[in-house]
């Protein structure tokens, strides 16, 4: 009987010391591929790293157990594990690029000093969605309350290609100008946007189509559009934008400066494209809303 009690005691003690293996995989949220070299930590004495396919094995005494996952360029997280196998943990890339203007709705009064003195703009950005992708759009309408009018639309999708230090997106633009009944200009463009922490400017390059109707004569041009943008956030809160439309026989350009004072924004620009020339002054008010944070789970 004493031998039985002794064996039972030994079994109880060794069972309490027994380690059980947990098996799982760590994946990136941007492409659902395994992340190699991720630190998987139970405590200071029990930790491991994922293999080249993002898989890991670590021993724990009991379930549930908290595991902490950390990886360079990604947001760390702690997960309470409730099963021994088939564990999937997703890590989100850490967003280092300053997306000023995200999650905002803006209303601008905008006046053209040459052709269209009355107008406005609505500017909207969505929350971050689909792994930190950001959708932005604006629509502008200006008129002289007679025959002149301007319609300008813009939309962009950021972070189609993304890592913590570089991203690429796509934007489309539409500009239509009527100067009386005899002149109409329509410009359409598609651009690839490139941003990097290592570059002092944001650059966009793409295709542009220009159609001009003047005195019932229609002219059409295909060319290149180039946009360079610099945002001086910390010191001046100033955005400077330069855009060039390059066609075989035409060169158009836009220079724009925008200064923010908290929610109040002031804007000035000069644009020239074929016979259309305009100096714009605008004042806007931006409403910030908080829906999602790209650097939180």
What sign does the CA torsion over 25, 30, 36, 38 have?
Answer: negative
Predicted local confidence at residue 16, as pLDDT: 43
Contact 127, 103 (CB under 8 A): yes
Query: Domain containing 80: what range?
Result: 2-91
Supply 37's token pair. Answer: 């070299």
62 lies in some domain: yes
Supply 231's token pair. Answer: 């945002």
110 vs 208: CA distance, rounded Å: 25
Pair (251, 145) in one structural domain: yes
262 lies in some domain: yes
Predicted local confidence at residue 293, as pLDDT: 66
Predicted local confidence at residue 160, as pLDDT: 85
37 lies in some domain: yes
Predicted local confidence at residue 14, as pLDDT: 43
Last residue of a domain, one of 48, 70, 91: 91
Supply 275's token pair. Answer: 């016979």
* pTM of the predicted structure, to 2 decimals: 0.70
Pair (66, 162) in one structural domain: no
Predicted local confidence at residue 257, as pLDDT: 96
Supply 176's token pair. Answer: 């239509």
Number of domains in the chain: 2
Name the stretches of the chain with pLDDT < 50. Answer: 1, 4, 6-17, 98-101
Q: What are the residues whose beta carbons fall under 8 Å from the beta carbon of 202, sequence distance 6 or more? A: 193, 194, 195, 228, 229, 230, 231
Predicted local confidence at residue 250, as pLDDT: 85
Contact 119, 143 (CB under 8 A): yes
Pair (79, 112) in one structural domain: no
Q: What's the CATH number where 81 sits? A: 2.60.40.10
* pLDDT digit string, tens, across residues 52-85: 999 999 998 888 899 999 998 888 999 999 888 8
Q: Which of 19, 27, 20 is nearest to 87 (CA)?
A: 27
Q: Which of 274, 271, 269 is nearest to 247 (CA)?
A: 274
Taking residue 73's Cβ as centre, other Cβ atoms within 10 Å add up to 13
Rg from Cα positions in the chain: 29
Pair (55, 197) in one structural domain: no
Last residue of a domain, one of 61, 91, 121: 91
Q: What's the CATH number where 197 sits? A: 2.40.160.40
297 lies in some domain: no
Predicted local confidence at residue 32, as pLDDT: 85
């Amino acid at each position: 009987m004493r031998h039985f009690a002794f064996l039972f005691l030994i079994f109880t003690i060794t069972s309490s010391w027994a380690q059980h293996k947990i098996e799982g995989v760590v994946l990136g949220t941007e492409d659902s591929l395994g992340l190699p070299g991720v630190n998987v930590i139970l405590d200071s004495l029990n930790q491991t790293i994922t293999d080249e396919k993002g898989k890991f094995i670590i021993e724990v005494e009991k379930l549930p157990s908290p595991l902490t996952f950390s990886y360079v360029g990604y947001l760390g997280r702690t997960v309470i594990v409730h099963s021994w196998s088939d564990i999937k943990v997703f890590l989100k890339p850490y967003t280092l690029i300053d997306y000023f203007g995200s999650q905002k709705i803006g209303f601008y009064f905008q006046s053209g000093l040459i052709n269209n003195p009355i107008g406005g703009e609505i500017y909207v950005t969505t929350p971050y969605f689909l792994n930190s992708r950001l959708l932005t759009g604006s629509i502008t309408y200006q008129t002289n309350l007679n025959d002149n009018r301007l319609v300008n639309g813009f939309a962009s999708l950021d972070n189609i290609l993304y890592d913590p230090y570089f991203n690429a997106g796509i934007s489309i633009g539409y500009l239509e100008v009527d100067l009386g009944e005899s002149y109409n200009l329509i410009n359409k463009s598609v651009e690839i946007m490139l941003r990097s922490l290592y570059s002092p400017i944001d650059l966009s390059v793409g295709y542009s189509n220009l159609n001009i109707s003047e005195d019932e004569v229609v002219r059409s041009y295909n060319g290149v559009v180039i946009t360079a943008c610099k945002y001086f956030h910390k010191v001046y809160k100033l955005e400077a934008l330069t855009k060039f439309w390059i066609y075989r026989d035409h060169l158009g350009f836009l220079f724009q400066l925008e200064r923010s004072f908290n929610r109040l924004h002031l804007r000035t620009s000069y644009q020239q494209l074929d016979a259309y020339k305009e100096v714009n002054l605008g004042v806007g008010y931006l409403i910030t809303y908080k829906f999602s944070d790209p650097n939180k789970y």
